A and B are shown apart, each in its own frame.
Chain A
Amino acid sequence: MLKYIVPFAVFVLLGAFLFVGLYRDPRYVPSPLIGKPAPAFSLPSLQDPQYPVATRELMGQPWILNVWGTWCGGCREEHDKLLVIAKQNTVPLIGLNWKDDSNAARKWLRDLGNPYAAVAVDQEGRTAIDWGVYGAPETFLIGPDGLVLYKHIAPMTMEVWKREFLPRIEAARAGREQSSS
């Protein structure tokens, strides 16, 4: 009897692994940055290159880093969602304009609306490498203590925002109030 049960069990187990594997996204690469300090940067601002956009000025509050470029189709797709999110005024939305033409980027924001509190210009793509960016759009959530809390790789949707981002932002705020009181 065991002679039949053991191979059958092995077959079912292997089948289950392969079946689950069919539905996993091979393009999704988990970020090793989650739970680690966000890589610091100080980059020229898109709107006024004289004023840098620096990570240390954002410490003490949760904030969002959204990596985008005018060459990126998914970025256009998510843009109206970013505008809605910006209107909710929950956290500052910082843009990282990745290897883009600054004039085109400014025109994009004029034409489509600007959801960002500030946009940092990463012309050479060095900051993007520090953040482990491999495909725009990517959206990071950074906690008040400067730790990366979450990363979303794909155009933002309201569903993802409500399910993944909002609860984490609330938890980060709650944790902050507890430690300060």
Chain B
Amino acid sequence: MMLFVRLILTACFLGLSSQALAIDQVHAFDDPALQERYENINRELRCLVCQNQTIADSNATLAGDLRREVKELIAAGKTDDEIREFMIERYGDFVLYRPRMTGTNFLLWAAPALMLIAGFFVALRVIRRRAAETELDPDGPEEAGNP
């Protein structure tokens, strides 16, 4: 049983590692820390030719060119933010898979909080009305059927 679990786990890890290498064939960096940064950034950038893939997943030539660009920027000592900025300057916010909060999409970011607040007020009103109803009618409809 234990062996079986181990086999499955090994297969999973092998699957993961081969996925990371699937596009590039070879590691972009010998330094594992740089390689990790490289892969993380690639997973955050959208391939604009095939819009629902990251440049880490896509084998489009543009995605390859963008990976090369990320690699060179990392090698040149740029920070992750500077690399993201480089991409935004050229392709706009759409290139990011984790969008930033800007003036135009503020409502989208605020929507969950606003809905929660609205829900709170609706709940408050319903509870108050129910409370008022039970005060007026101490033998509420629930008790009406009791002997």
Contact = CB atoms under 8 A, between A and B. Distances in A.
Interface of A: 26-27, 29-33, 99, 124-126, 128-132, 134-135
A31 B92 contact: yes
A30 B92 contact: yes
Interface in B81-116: 88-92, 94
Closest 4 CB pairs of A and B: A134-B48, A132-B90, A32-B92, A125-B65
A124 B68 CA distance: 10
16 contacts: A26-B51, A29-B92, A29-B94, A31-B92, A32-B89, A32-B91, A99-B61, A124-B65, A125-B61, A125-B62, A126-B65, A128-B65, A129-B65, A132-B91, A134-B49, A134-B62
A132 B90 CA distance: 4
B144 to A, nearest CB: 26
A134 B91 CA distance: 8
B46 to A, nearest CB: 9
Interface in B54-77: 61-62, 65-66, 69
Chain B contact-residue range equals 10 to 19
A130 B90 contact: yes
Which of B66, B88, B90 lies at the interface centre, i.e. has the most chain A CB atoms within 10 A of its CB? B90
Nearest to B72: A126
Nearest to A125: B65
A124 B69 CA distance: 11
A79 B91 CA distance: 26
Given A32-B92, A134-B91, 8 more contacts: A29-B48, A30-B92, A32-B89, A99-B61, A129-B66, A131-B90, A132-B91, A134-B49
B69 A129 contact: yes
Nearest to B66: A129
Interface in B18-58: 48-49, 51
B9 to A, nearest CB: 39
A37 to B, nearest CB: 11
B90 A129 contact: yes
Contacts of B49: 134-135
A130 B86 CA distance: 9
B48 to A, nearest CB: 4
A88 to B, nearest CB: 31
A31 B65 CA distance: 19
Contacts of A29: 48, 91-92, 94
A134 B87 CA distance: 12
Contacts of B69: 126, 129
Contacts of B61: 99, 125
A125 B51 CA distance: 19
Contacts of A30: 92
Contacts of A126: 65, 69
A24 B65 CA distance: 28
Contacts of A131: 90
Contacts of B66: 129
Contact of B51 (A27, A32, A129, A132): A27
